Amino acid sequence: MKKILVLTDFSDTAQQAARAAVNVAGKTHANIILLNTFVSQPALSEYGASPWVAEQLLWEDEGKEKLDFLKEQLERFVQHLPPGDHHPSIHSQQEVGRLSGQVKELLQKETVEMIVMGSRSGNAWEHLLMGSDTNGVINHSNRPVLIIPASHTLNNLKKVTFATDFDSADIKAVRYLTHLGRLFNFSLEIVHVRLWGKEAMPAEQSVDFKKHVAKFNFPNISYQDIGGKELIKRLNHLCSANGSDMLVLVHDQHSLLNQLFKKNNTQTLIEQQKLPVMIIPASIAVN
C-alpha cells in the first residue's frame, strides 16, 4: 500500500504538519511513516566515554519517546477523520544520518505517495530540519514534497494554485494535481508566470499546453497570468486574493521554480509563503 512519509523534528510546526498528513492520507488512501533523523557526532577522545556518545544516546532515547507520543496523538486524530475517509495505520522509525540521505534511501524501499514536512518557523529546530535539509529533501525526492506552515492542517482544501511557465514538463504535474483534485474536490487555478526580461512565449505554446490539460477532463480549472518584477510577492498576493489554500510549483534545474530563485533558494519561498507549498519533481511518474 502507498505511504505518506512524514518528516518530524518534534517542533510545533512539524507536529502540525503531521496532523495535516493524516488528512492527506485519509483522502489518498495511504498509510503513514513517521521519520525522525539525527546525526551521530564523533567522539572527542579515544579514552573513556565521550560526552558526545552520551548526548547521542540521550537524543536517541528522547527521540523514540517523542515518536511514540506523536504516533499516539496521530492515532487519536485518525479516529476523527470524516466518514468515508481511509483510516491510515502509522509506523514510526528513527534513523541516524543526514535527512536527505535517509529520505532518498527510504524512497527506494517504500511506495511513497508524498512527503510532508513542516516549514521553518523562525525558531531553533531541535535536531536536523534546517533550511539546507529542506532543500536536500526536495533535491533528492522523486515524489511531491508538501511543506506545511504553522496553523494549517489541510482539512479544508478547496482551491489550489499551480504556477507554471507552460513548459511541457509541467503537464505531468497538472495531471497529478487533477488526480488529487478528484480526491479532495478542489478547484485548480493554473497561473502562467511570465519572467521579467524573457521573450514572450509563442502563442502556440500556450494553446498546446491548454489542449493537453483539457485531455484530463477535470472540470474545475481556470487560468490566470502574472508577470513583471517581484514575482514572489505577486504570486503570494494572487494566492491571497483568489482564496487559494495551497501553492504548487515544479522543480528541476530547468523549472520555473529554479528560475525564480536562481539568486536565492527554495527556502526563500517557503519562509515568505503563508500557505502550504507543494513542490512536484519534473520527473514524477503519474499513473
| Tens digit of each residue's pLDDT, the chain (287 residues) | 899 999 998 888 889 999 999 999 999 999 999 999 877 655 444 444 445 444 555 566 677 889 999 999 999 999 999 999 999 999 999 888 788 888 888 999 999 999 999 876 543 333 333 446 677 788 778 899 998 887 777 878 999 999 998 888 899 999 999 999 999 999 999 999 887 666 666 778 889 999 999 999 999 999 999 887 777 778 888 888 999 999 998 887 666 656 665 544 445 555 556 788 899 988 887 76
User: Can you point out the beta strands (E) in 84-176?
Assistant: 90-96, 112-118, 145-148, 159-164
Give the Cα separation of 99 and 263 in Å (integer).
24
Residue 267: the pLDDT is 52
Instruction: Count CA atoms within 13 Å of residue 13 on its CB side.
Output: 20
Is 246 within 8 Å of 276 (Cβ atoms)?
yes
Give the Cα separation of 95 and 11 in Å (integer).
17
Residue 109: the pLDDT is 92
Is 78 within 8 Å of 90 (Cβ atoms)?
yes
Give the burial class of 264: count Cβ atoms within 10 A of its Cβ; 0-12 exposed, 13-18 middle, 19 or more buried: exposed
Residue 54: the pLDDT is 47
Is 220 within 8 Å of 181 (Cβ atoms)?
yes
| pTM recorded for the entire structure | 0.85
Cα-flanking dihedrals φ and ψ of residue 179, to 5°?
-65, -45
Residue 18: the pLDDT is 94
Task: Give the three cell numbers for residue 104.
Answer: 532518498
Residue 167: the pLDDT is 84
